[in-house]
Structure 1
Amino acid sequence: MILAVTALAPPASAADGDVTFENDGVTLHGTVVAPPGGTKLPGIVMVHGSGEHSREDYRDQAEAFARQGIATLIYDKRTEGYSQFSRSYSTLADDALAAVEALRKRPEVDPARVGVWGLSEGGWVAPLAASRSSDVAFVVTLGANGVEPSRQQAWAIENQLRRLGMTGSIVGMASSTMMRQLVGGGVFPEAHYDPVPVLKSLRQPVLGLWGAKDVLTPPGEAVRIFQESVAHHTLRVFPDAQHQLRRTTDGFDKLDGYAPGYVELVGSWVNHPPTASSADAPPSQDRPSVSVTPLRWYESTWLQLAVLVVLLVAFAFGLFRRPRWLSVTGLLTVLGFLVVDVLLQTTMGKGLGPVVAGRPLPWLALQLLSLGVVAATIATGVAWWRQRSIRLGIAVAGGVVFIPWAIYWGLLAI
């Protein structure tokens, strides 16, 4: 719920003016960048991509839009209630609506021509804000998704790992198994947000922009979904641009400058919205995105945590009795897997070092250790059969549990 809006008067001799506005008990601070001396200007509120962002992250584009005759509000993204593990698109949309109200109150702005601009995550948030208020005159999106966040993220992770030369089980583990566990464990916020119903509800004109070499958003699918869902649309694809419409060679690097014609297109479209819909052909994708399916009962997060505890206890218990090979290899594999899992999530695979035969060296080492655990389980099982030792029996039980666990997580898969 939007509680209050306060707009400060623009400085007499500057093109910038500070604003504050409030939503859900949080005061947000922003700046309006506008051409000096303008009157009855169209306005844009810029809605952030994912992560922490200040208004300065979008100042260069705001200044470019100002040169196109547009008053643009950039603001510091909320930190309260927003983190890697907690966020609400609904709250972010209400933040954007509070910013729209602040911009509409500016004396140099035409209140009937204020819209929202959203990048990436903002491509989910900006349409949601527009669907809630007729005060939003139009929507501009960059790198917006037509699929749910978990599906987009799984597609992006696989792109990153393949770019690093990885193939096989580690790619499937990171982009599917790990992602399904994060979603099932409730630590992936807004995982199943479906943008399509919101897009279908929009009555405002929408300018959707994508880079053909986008490796974070499935651009071909997004263009098709927007074309099928948005009633009044203008959809454009820039051939040599990446996710943020920066110039690029492969979608991963960022060259200086934005895609030629991007800023001018936004300026002309906002100042003179077309009456008829039009769309570029969807760009090609190497592969389609895939839905992140719910966990089966045996994959539940709590069961996976319980299995980890069983493995660690069983292997640690076996350290007190020879032969210790099963316990040593088992502990090294389980603990090493946890480290690799964290590195995959925090560095998108960049922290795993050189890649050999499609496998980063730590993953290759874990797969070899896993084979060692299987061999040690057989050997220790034979020793247990001869000695009938409780300690050996516990270690063997750990080895037996380890095998399906390692298959599930790709350690015993190609």
Structure 2
Amino acid sequence: MTGVLLLLAAPRAYADGDGLVRQEVSFRGGGGLVLHGTVLGKDGAPGREPGIVLVGGSGAGPREEYRQEAEAFARAGITTLVYDKRTVGYSFLHRDFGLLADDALAGVRLLRSRSGVDPRQVGLWGFSEGGWVAPLAASRSADVAFVVTIGGSGYDPLRTQTYYLATHLHHQGVDEPFRRTVAGPAAQLMAATGLFPAAGYDPLPVLERLQRTPVLALWGDHDTQVPPRESARIFREALARAGNQHVVIGFVAGGAHNGHRTSDGFDRIGGPLFHGKNLGELTPRYAQTMTSWVRAVAAGHPPASSAAPAPGQALATTPVPSHPWYAWLAPALLLLGFAAYPTSALLRRGPVLRPVRWLAGLGILAVVTTVACSTAVFAAGNGAAAPVVWGRPALWLVVQALAVAVVVSACVSAAALRRRRLTPSRATWLRLAPVGLAAAGFVPWAVWWGVAA
């Protein structure tokens, strides 16, 4: 059964001389998958203490990434479970927040079963993607006593990702036209083709179900991965509509997306290394804010709702239509139109003109590279835009040159057809009409995709 604890050779607790006791645990998460984690507590803690389960952000999510948070909670007398995120049923192309919420609830049940934990005071902490998962889990179970989020987004994953890409491309020196392409037609194509996992997940209905669960929602004031100002407003308004009177909205001074120290949101200062990069150290105010709030909730005195002034936000988010079918239909029709000419040549139907052959080939290449260049950043991040030349990715300059070549080829082809004075026939029409229509449609399509900017 989902969430049943595994009584596998339960390891003994051990201390590292830092005042904390650690115990390695295994438990069954969603779908019966075995998850592995560590329970941390304060050495010699008297009586029953509150507990908290840490829910990580996107990606593989090994527990080591959240060691600083786990130790901060444990030192404050809050028994903490931090676990390795599942790799089964979770991938680059697949996200199931419901399954991740089941994992989190299994962790809550584990802590509630421990003798040193108050079963009525076990909550969830969610970072980034966990800012969607933790509220979802809390909305499904009355066992969750409270929710803490850091860097949670008030928007769906695709709109959030376009904000992340826009801010990082801007930092990289990419001008607005290409950023607008990524946030507009490229994002719509990702939504239309289903290539972006959980693109349309809406966190609003979940937040509006948290009527009595105390919530502490925090953002780093230098968050560059989710829109802090907009997200804070959405959290505040949605939870107010739910009638929740214990919602604290706050911002971590000098904090990055993960609430750790940063100078501008794009770097991390200090802290342990993770995958060769600094995680950034916890700011004292960040750790104190979370632990003191949890202790107040556990003591039966959840703070009344309040909202700190929101910091500025350099860029605004761009909404993505939910079902933009035209985003994939338009390039598909263009490719079919351009491909019709060489296909008919193989069938030896109708006249063959060298300029039109060039037009067809360049048209196919231009459509494919336009789509590939602007959507690559969703797969590989803003690094796919390097190097940047004149405010544009170098490859985008190649795309723009191809677009010009298509227009020039169309003009040369039209002139060649006039000179040839071809006799109208069904074969001629079938051969030339598709590529002609594709060439005509390519111009407005290229303008929409920002190739002409």
The aligned counterpart of 1:193 is 201
Q: 2:335 aligns with which of 300, 308, 313?
A: 308
Structure 1 unaligned residues grouped into runs of 5+: none
Residue aligning to 2:440: 400
Instruction: Identify which of 97, 102, 107 aligns with 1:99.
Output: 107
For the 8 Å contact 1:33–1:63, the answer to whether it is kept is yes
Q: CA deviation at 1:152?
A: 1.4
**Alignment equivalent of 2:404, drawn from 341, 349, 371:** 371
Q: Which residue of 1 aligns with 2:127?
A: 119
State the shift of 1:404 in Å.
Answer: 3.2
Is residue 13–residue 22 contact of structure 2 (8 Å, CA) maintained in 1? no
Question: Can you list the C-alpha shifts for 1:11-38, whole angstroms capped at 9, x where unaligned?
Answer: 2443211222222132222111112233
Tell me the secondary structure at the aligned position of residue 188 of structure 1: coil
TM-score by length of 2: 0.83
The change in CA–CA distance for 1:240 and 1:7 in structure 2 (over 3 A counts) is: farther
- The aligned residue for residue 211 of structure 1 is 220
**Cα gap change, 1:100/1:330 in structure 2, threshold over 3 Å: closer, same or farther?**
same
**8 Å CA contact 2:3, 2:105 repeated in 1:** no
Aligned to 1:110: 118
Deviation at 1:172, TM superposition (A): 1.5
Equivalent residue, structure 2, for 1:27: 34
Choose from 389, 395, 406 the match for 1:356: 389
Structure 1 counterpart of 2:309: 281
2-structure distance, mates of 1:286, 1:182: 25
Q: How much does 1:352 deviate?
A: 3.1
Asked whether 1:247 is paired with 2:261, we answer: yes
**What secondary structure, in the 3-state scheme, does the structure 2 residue paired with 1:79 have?**
coil
Shift of residue 313 of structure 1?
A: 5.1
Tell me which of 223, 235, 252 is aligned to 2:232: 223
User: Residue 10 of structure 1 contacts residue 16 of structure 1 at CA under 8 Å; is this kept in 2?
Assistant: no
Q: Counterparts of 2:207 and 2:382 in 1: how far apart (Å)?
A: 34
**Is 28-37 or 347-356 further displaced after alignment?**
347-356
Whether the aligned pair in 2 keeps the contact of 1:384 and 1:393 (CA below 8 Å) is no
Deviation at 1:100, TM superposition (A): 0.4
What is the Cα deviation at residue 97 of structure 1?
Answer: 0.4
Aligned to 1:261: 285
- If the length of structure 1 is used for normalisation, what is the TM-score? 0.91
Q: Which moved more, 1:84-93 or 1:1-10?
A: 1-10
> How far did 1:114 drift?
0.8
Tell me, yes or no, if the aligned pair for 1:85 and 1:188 is still in contact at 8 Å: yes
2: CA distance between counterparts of 1:394 and 1:226? 50
Aligned counterpart in structure 2 of residue 76 of structure 1, from 68, 81, 84: 84
Moved over 6 A (4+): 315-320, 391-394
- Partner of 1:201, secondary structure, is coil
**Secondary structure at 1:43's aligned position in 2?**
strand
Shift of the alpha carbon at 1:140?
A: 0.7
Alignment: residue pair count: 412
Answer whether contact 1:314 1:398 (CA < 8 A) is retained: no
**Structure 1 position 126, deviation (Å):** 0.3
Larger displacement relative to structure 2 (391-400 or 37-46): 391-400
Letter of the structure 1 residue corresponding to residue 5 of structure 2: V
Q: CA RMSD in A?
A: 2.5
The one-letter amino acid of 1:32's match is: V
Rounded to whole Å, the distance in 2 between the matches of 1:315 and 1:336 is 19
CA distance in 1, matches of 2:339, 2:122: 58
Residue equivalent to 1:293: 321
Instruction: Provide the residue aligned with 2:275 in structure 1.
Output: none
The alpha-carbon distance between structure 1 residues 277 and 51, as it changes in their structure 2 partners (threshold 3 A), is: same
- In the alignment, does 2:12 pair up with 1:11? yes
Residue 416 of structure 2 aligns with which residue? Answer: 383
Cα distance, 1:212 vs structure 2: 1.0
1:117-196 aligned at under 5 Å gives the runs 117-196=125-204
Q: Are the counterparts in 2 of residues 112 and 137 from structure 1 also a CA contact under 8 Å?
A: yes
CA contact (8 A) 2:48 2:118 kept: yes
- Secondary structure, in 3 states, of the residue corresponding to 2:120? strand
Aligned partners of 2:342, 2:167: CA distance in 1, in Å?
36
Deviation at 1:398, TM superposition (A): 4.3
Conservation of the 8 A alpha-carbon contact between 1:315 and 1:398: no
Give identity over the alignment, percent.
Answer: 42
CA–CA separation in structure 2 for the residues paired with 1:189 and 1:354: 27
